[in-house]
Amino acid sequence: MIVNDPLRSVQSLPGVVGNDDFQSQFALRGAEFRRIGLIMDGILLHSPFHTVAGDATSASATLFGGDILEGVTLYEGPLPAGVSDRTAGAVAMTTRSGARDRVRGRGSVSMSNVSGLVEGPLGKRGAWLVAARKSYLQYLIDRLSDDDTIAFAFSDAESRLDYDLTARQRVKLLLMYGTSGLDREKAIPTAGLNSIITSDYDFALVSLGHTWAVTPGWLAEHRGAWIDERWGNRNRTALSLGEERYGEWVVSGDHTVRSGAWGVEGGYSARRLRGEGEALVRRNAPLAPLVAERYRGTGVRAGAYATPSVRLLEGRLTLRAGARWDRHDVSGQTAASPSASVAFAPWERLRLSAGWGAAAQFAELSQFFGLGGRTTLLAERSQHAQAQGELALTRTAGLRVSYWRRWDRDLLFAERAQAYLLNGRVIAPLTTPLWRNRLRMAARGAEVMVMRKSANALSGWISYAWTDAPVCCGLLGERYPADFEQRHTVNVFGNYRVRPSVNVSGRYSYGSGTPLRGYFRGEYPNLFLTDRRNLLRLPEYQRLGVWANKTFQRDRVRWTLFVEVVNVTGRENVRVDDLSGFNAATGAARVRLEKTFPVLPSVGLAVEF
């Protein structure tokens, strides 16, 4: 998908809502991305995206490419006890080890970026891998925007080293670094005092892991990590409009013990967080800038979990129950999250399962220590319940049907972040919104997926998801659809190997539309403020993309020519660009929507040796 972003692949899975072509982040079962954990080799990442930080509508791309990943797992229903500090879902990613037989390499160039990967053995007991990617997005920017002053670019690099200490112990070192920046110096003559002209973002991760097969039935994994993120935005006179530095020290571990039919999974995690930042509104000299946000603080999040399980009836019945415990030293709150599940295979081709589980997510440091926050904010809580059936239709095809419910409470809401109408009078938003545990949600839905797996013929899936996610007790005590509720979602993916050297793929997505987040009534573009939230919805979303590649092999070198076309049908999808404008006298709202991807062709070449 143009920039080799692994989260774009996740967006094609059942129940995932990815209607914003410009952003990697997605919604899941009515919940926004901040409630979905992004986990890399057991480490929960904070914000690993190339973007203009501090601008919620900015485009984004995941900070690493898909070349380094061995697998990606999406958790939608009751979360595994090992997942901490998220309440709606998780994406667990595992990086792959380098080749141990000989040095191998891969390089590719397309119309948006160039990337490369080299791997090989480290003596007789290890392996190494290095990957890098650099963008040149002007082709995309010129196709997507009429503004010729925008210049945005990013680059990132990843490295992994593996070494076997003994036949049963291995250490792994993972290094990641990424940087991105915006340059709009051509816009200085017409830019406002609070327009972002230059922006930069840097991310670094160092993770060291140790895996030990203590006994044939006991596997222990321990890891430590350091994370550092920093960004800054500046205006036409190079004065700061906002900046932030965030970091973590992390230690965690997971143990899996199995003896016969019995087993137990358990582990721990501790994260020391540090952060400081501010957002400024510049005014004409000699007035000092208005401080919209400022925070500085540290905190420790600690947790542990244990989940025993048993297999009965020759493995056809599995019972699992457990609990997770978490604590944050800033609020002093402790959260206990029990869970239970059962899986039963009455016949070889049919598998039934049901599960229930609770989860907790603490506020960010900026919400605890910011001008609109407080250290007594409660952890957001959720309870998941899901029933699922999987039927093997043929040797290669299957059907999966799911029904789920999720109850959320103490959800954080930024009070008076947007203008609204109260008793016929326009209430203007606050410069610094107030964070409060105000919302409750009772979401439910169903999903159906038909899939086929084949290495040399047609493979893929067709999925449909229905979601109902009402929210209760907002700013005015009203009941309204969740900000990211999409009633109907269809995701289709197909891959067909025409010949051993020719492959064709396609993806189609449909969404009935998420709410226009805010207090609006009327018909776009003639909108007015009202006292009810999320009355209107964005237009339905449709997009079809196709890909084809042809491989040429010569000796030990393989060349691949690939062509892709995004939005083949030329559908004019839109996304929200600005919701902040309003007229205090008339109540008129100035909402700006912008078109996303047009028909977008791209061609590239990859070489492997």
Please report the pLDDT score of residue 140 as a whole number: 73
- Separation of alpha carbons 592 and 513, rounded Å: 17
Please spell the DSSP secondary structure of 56-115, one letter per residue: TTS-EEESS-GGGEEEEEEE-SSPPTT--S-SSEEEEEEE-PPPSSS-EEEEEE-SSEEE
Q: Tell which residue, 278, 290, 276, 277, has the closest CA to residue 193.
A: 290
Q: Let me know how many helices (H) and strands (E) the chain has, helices first.
A: 3, 38
- Residue ranges for the chain with pLDDT beneath 50: none
**Considering only CA atoms, which of 586, 588, 591, 542 is closest in space to residue 567?**
542
For 195, the token pair is 């327009």
For 207, 210, 239, 253, 550, the CA distances from 164, given in Å and listed in that order, are: 17, 10, 51, 19, 38
Q: What is the DSSP string of 469-496?
A: -EEES-TTS-EEE-TB--SEEEEEEEEE
**H-run or E-run covering 507:** strand 502-511
**What is the pLDDT, as a whole number, of residue 474?**
67
**What digits encode the pLDDT tens for the residues 184-208?**
988 999 899 999 999 999 999 999 9
pLDDT at 86: 97
- Confidence (pTM): 0.93
Name the residue ranges covered by the structural domains of the chain. Answer: 6-568+582-608
**Superfamily assignment of 6-568+582-608 in CATH?**
TonB-dependent receptor, beta-barrel domain (2.40.170.20)
pLDDT digits (tens, 9 = 90+) for 275-309: 999 999 998 876 789 999 999 999 999 999 999 99
Q: 516 with 562: CB under 8 angstroms?
A: no
